[in-house]
Amino acid sequence: MSEELYTGLDIGSHAVRIAVGKLVPSPDGKEQIHVIGAVESPSKGVHKGTITNLEDAVSSVSKALEQAERITGLPINSAWVGISGSHIIAQESRGVVGVARHDGEIQDDDVERAIEAARTVATPTNYEILHVIPKSFIVDGQHGIKDPVGMNGIRLEVDALIIQGLSSQIKNLTKCVYRTGLDIEDVVFSILATAESVVSSRQKELGVCIVNIGASTTSLVVFEEGDILHSAVLPIGSDHITSDIAIGLRTSIEVAEQVKLRYATALPEEVSKKDQINLAELGAMEEEYIGRRFIADITQARVQEIFEHVDRELESIDRSGMLPAGVILTGGGAKLSGILEAAKQTLRLPVSSGIPIGVTSVIDRVSDPAMSTAIGLVLWGRQMRGEKGHGFGKIFSTLKRADKLTGSIKKFFSSLRP
């Protein structure tokens, strides 16, 4: 087992990121993931988490895969693939079954039957179930049970969260990956994988929100008492900041991106009104001096809008300003200067930057918030292969049938590999 590779593939609108890990002994005598490769390659053919040009997307994934194989010196044959996009929806469901054994003892197969019953929720047209996440169980009317196996009862119920995605988008993503020659272990809702890498069990119990600010979407998931309370994908991201700067400065997107990366901040009050930058130094055709305070004002307005959308999602579940473990920011957008303070002001919660926990590595890139999803997919993979982990990934190890792509889809797309 220790020689097995775990690969996470995060196909984003801005970049394709791949993390490769393997199991190594940890100081406490157990095994933990050691990340041996983490690469980032520019992405084309992907917009707002969905494939918009298949050929370009295949080329982008192939380049990232080649880099990962070169860095690790090992062939990569399969991966856990993250999926995101505003087409993904979460829906509550309840499954109810009778306990099969005559002595009333609940077994694993009873739990599986209850979860399968929860799957029978009315799925919108052209949508497909990605995950069935058990939140809590009810045995003969007793609520709040986390693991009913071994208990006695006649009636078993499960409250579950059903994560669904548009079938066409799931198929396009799997087709893209199979065309590179890579096999798919599973397709995972990206923000759930991100949470596995940056949040502790204690934070999940207290109540925490993970916000992943990508290029064109912002994903979030809320945990409380160890369960997923809410998840959403917002169609707004850090590329919108770039666009605002390009419009405000009347310059190209390329120059605006450099301005954002090097000079933008979400806190205008910390910038002197006298500070100026020369756009010619950032690739503009001619010299033009712009005040940094003006750039900060533009940036702050869009950042505030992003967090107002997040706060609206928290309001919808009565958790606005009421999560003891606060908010954890991840994704490329979380590296923007001043964004933590801006989030604290808008969300009225403690805010921290998400850095992967529970893994070791000698690679600096591992501590990059933008890599948290790829590393989360590696940790997810470890749990799905039956390793004892933390979080809800543990219970998923008994639900592989519920989480896998349907056999017919996998069979069809695997035939497309070169």
Q: What is the pLDDT of residue 391?
A: 41
Verify that 211 and 309 share a domain, yes or no: yes
In a domain, 97, yes or no: yes
Tell me the pTM: 0.89
Domain end marker among 330, 355, 380: 355
Domain end marker among 328, 355, 382: 355
Among 185, 187, 239, 189, smallest CA distance to 210 is for 189
Summarize pLDDT for 306-327 with one digit per residue, the tens: 999 999 999 999 999 999 999 9
* 3-state class (DSSP) for residue 9: strand
Q: What is the pLDDT of residue 351?
A: 96
In a domain, 211, yes or no: yes
Verify that 204 and 323 share a domain, yes or no: yes
Q: What is the pLDDT of residue 25?
A: 86
Summarize pLDDT for 275-305 with one digit per residue, the tens: 999 999 988 888 899 999 999 999 999 999 9
- Mapped to the 3 state alphabet, what secondary structure does 227-257 carry? EEEEEEEECCCHHHHHHHHHHHHCCCHHHHH
> How far is residue 325 from each of residues 121, 199, 371, measured CA to CA in Å?
32, 10, 22
Summarize pLDDT for 224-238 with one digit per residue, the tens: 998 899 999 999 999
In a domain, 334, yes or no: yes
C-alpha span between 20 and 6 (Å, rounded): 6
Verify that 211 and 325 share a domain, yes or no: yes
Among 212, 226, 222, smallest CA distance to 313 is for 222
Verify that 158 and 105 share a domain, yes or no: yes
CATH number assigned to the domain comprising residue 340 = 3.30.420.40
Cβ-in-10-Å burial (0-12, 13-18, 19+) of 293 comes to middle
Residue 109: both structure tokens together: 């197969």
Q: Is the pLDDT of residue 400 over 90?
A: no
- pLDDT tier at 414, thresholds 50, 70, 90: low
In a domain, 363, yes or no: no
Name the domain count of the chain.
2
Verify that 224 and 120 share a domain, yes or no: no
Domain end marker among 122, 144, 165: 165
Residue 142 structural domain: 89-165
In a domain, 66, yes or no: no
Verify that 247 and 113 share a domain, yes or no: no
C-alpha span between 149 and 383 (Å, rounded): 19
C-alpha span between 285 and 250 (Å, rounded): 12
Task: State the chain's mean pLDDT as an integer.
Answer: 89
Verify that 270 and 161 share a domain, yes or no: no
C-alpha span between 221 and 21 (Å, rounded): 25
Residue 57: alpha-carbon gap to chain centroid: 19
Cβ-in-10-Å burial (0-12, 13-18, 19+) of 397 comes to middle
In a domain, 75, yes or no: no
Verify that 131 and 266 share a domain, yes or no: no
Q: Is the pLDDT of residue 403 over 50?
A: no
Summarize pLDDT for 20-61 with one digit per residue, the tens: 999 988 777 788 899 999 999 999 999 888 899 999 999 999
Q: What is the pLDDT of residue 390?
A: 40
Verify that 260 and 207 share a domain, yes or no: yes
Verify that 270 and 334 share a domain, yes or no: yes
CATH number assigned to the domain comprising residue 102 = 3.30.1490.110
In a domain, 278, yes or no: yes
Q: How many CA atoms lie within 13 A of 99 on its CB side?
A: 20
Sign of the four-CA dihedral 69, 72, 74, 78: negative
DSSP single-letter state for residue 196:
H
Residue 9: both structure tokens together: 């593939």
Verify that 108 and 224 share a domain, yes or no: no
In a domain, 121, yes or no: yes
Verify that 128 and 236 share a domain, yes or no: no
